[in-house]
Amino acid sequence: MVKEVPDTEENMEICKQYCGPCPSFKPNDLNEVEPHALFCARGASKKPKEEIEDNGCSCMTCVVFEEYDLEDGWFCMEGKEGR
């Protein structure tokens, strides 16, 4: 069962380890647009989805993903629900 991910400093520190090297995060400059990271807790990037080039997703390898029984990934584009 999927659990809601808390927007905490601890989760953000974990997130940085996975979003930083994500193949879609840096090339799309998602750190420059709200909510900047921790998309599984904060929702999709405010950058229009059609302007984000999908180069892959690192969410499924993240500790937060596993801890909160998340599914699908691509939270930066799809929001908290993922794909």
Q: Encode pLDDT of 35-70 as tens digits.
A: 999 999 999 999 999 999 999 999 999 999 999 999
Average pLDDT over residues 72-78: 95
- Backbone region of residue 43 per phi and psi (left: phi > 0; alpha: psi in -120 to 50; beta: other values): left
**Residues 59, 38: Cα–Cα separation, whole Å:** 10
Given a contact cutoff of 8 angstroms between Cβ atoms, the answer to whether 28 and 13 are in contact is: no
pLDDT band at 82; cut points 50, 70, 90: confident
pLDDT band at 2; cut points 50, 70, 90: confident
Query: How far, in whole angstroms, is CA 61 from its chain's centroid?
Result: 11
